[in-house]
Structure formats: structure tokens, C-alpha cells
Amino acid sequence: QKEVEQDPGPLSVPEGAIVSLNCTYSNSAFQYFMWYRQYSRKGPELLMYTYSSGNKEDGRFTAQVDKSSKYISLFIRDSQPSDSATYLCAMSSNTGFQKLVFGTGTRLLVSP
Amino acid sequence: SAVISQKPSRDICQRGTSLTIQCQVDSQVTMMFWYRQQPGQSLTLIATANQGSEATYESGFVIDKFPISRPNLTFSTLTVSNMSPEDSSIYLCSVGPESDNSFGPGTRLLVL
């Protein structure tokens, strides 16, 4: 069993839709949770990070962590075609986000 | 966030040869990491590049296959040695949380 599971997609939505991206994990030691966005032929770009459980909002993006269920989510409101990318969740049990463990990524396609 | 560049951006190599990938950061950073991203797989940490000492390798990766140098706080190299087609992948360098865990654009390697 992989430490971090993520549906590879693709997930296709129309412009303006609310998108929900999810990851599950098995290691209860994970304390830091991150979401990266990766455009084609580019390196991953850190979108958001959260520590332990709870929600964090940044503009159209909301990250949610439920440690009791070992489940994390990223919500994108009012999705735009420019949001089309692969979204990677990543987790770490170390202080300072060392040794990140990544999901395989979910490919999101937002059509105009 | 740090700006990270990698050279080469892509290469096609013959089996049995070696390729050295360079990673340059525009600011001094304490931590540098090397990851591999194989098609359909998650980003996997190869090693932590330590300035002034040997790199710390993750399980499944060895120094003879992936020698790493870290001569200063802004530069690191990863060599992929004695390559086989299974080494075809994207190799990315990354920095630690002091620079938002940024990633370089990656080096696309195809081994024939």
C-alpha cells in the first residue's frame, strides 16, 4: 500500500465549477500537508500548506485536513481554464517540510 | 521564493553512459533535495544534498548510482551513472522551507 493515495484523473469540469481534489494517507505521523500545482513541462509550484488538522483559505483555494480520517482536500472555487494542471498533494512528518512524500497527482482540465 | 534553474533541461543518452545534472539557486539555501518523477508515478525523493558532507540517500537509492555534490549553498549536481532505460525520468531539484520548498523546472532524461 502506498503511503499517499491520489486519484490520477483526469478530472474535467466546466469553467466556474467548484473543484474538489483529495488525497488519503496511511502514516499517522504526517503533520504537514501541502498542495502543489504542476503545469506541463514545469516544476511543481507550492500552492498551500497546512499544519495538523483544520482549514486554510487563500483566495479561490481552500485546503482542508482531517487527520482522524487521514484525508486531505483542496477546493478550487470559480475554476478557470488557467487552473488546468496536475495537482500534487505532499506530506511530511518532519519539522520544516523535509522528506516530502507525494501523491501521484490529479490532472485537472477546466474547459471554457 | 527561490528561483531555481537546472541544466540540461532535457537529454537523450545511450545506456551505459553517465549524465550530470546541475541545479543553481539564486539565493543561499540550507537544504537542497533531488527528486525523480517517473511517468505515472509520484515524485520520489532520491537524496538530500548536504553542503560540506556526503548526501543522505533514501531507501532504494545509492551513492554509486546517483553521486551528488554540494560545493556551496547555491549549487548542487546529481549524476545518473551507468544509465539504463529504467532511468528515463524527470529529475528535479528542490530547496527547503526557507524558500517555500520550491522546485526547479526539471531535467527530462531519455535513455536508449
Reported as a single tens digit per residue, the pLDDT across B30-83 is 889 999 999 888 899 999 998 888 899 999 999 999 999 999 999 999 999 999
Per-residue burial over B38-76, b if 16 or more Cβ lie within 10 Å, else e, is eeeebbbbbbbbebeeebebeeebeeebbbbbbeeebbb
Using a CB-CB cut-off of 8 Å, the residues of chain A touching B92 are: 43-44
Cis, peptide link before residue B105, omega less than 30° from 0:
no
- Residue A110: the pLDDT is 97
How many CB atoms lie under 10 A from the CB of residue B26?
12
CB-CB: which of A8, A97, A101 is closest to B97?
A97
- Residue B1: the pLDDT is 77
CB-CB: which of A41, A96, A104 is closest to B42?
A104
Grade residue A97 by pLDDT with cuts at 50, 70 and 90: low
Per-residue burial over B85-107, b if 16 or more Cβ lie within 10 Å, else e, is eebbbbbbbbbbbebebbbbebb
Whether A99 has a pLDDT exceeding 90, the answer reads no
Backbone angles phi, psi at A79, to 5 degrees: -60, 145
- Residue A35: the pLDDT is 96
Contact B49, B57 (CB under 8 A): no
Contact A20, A77 (CB under 8 A): no
Residue A45: partners with Cβ closer than 8 Å, 6 or more residues away? A36, A37, A38, A39, B102, B103
- Residue B111: the pLDDT is 97
CA B14 remoteness from chain centre: 19
pLDDT tens readout for residues A35-73: 999 999 899 999 998 888 889 999 999 999 999 999 999
Region B79-106: mean pLDDT is 92
- Residue A42: is it exposed, middle or buried by C-beta count within 10 angstroms (0-12/13-18/19+)? middle
Region B7-11: mean pLDDT is 97
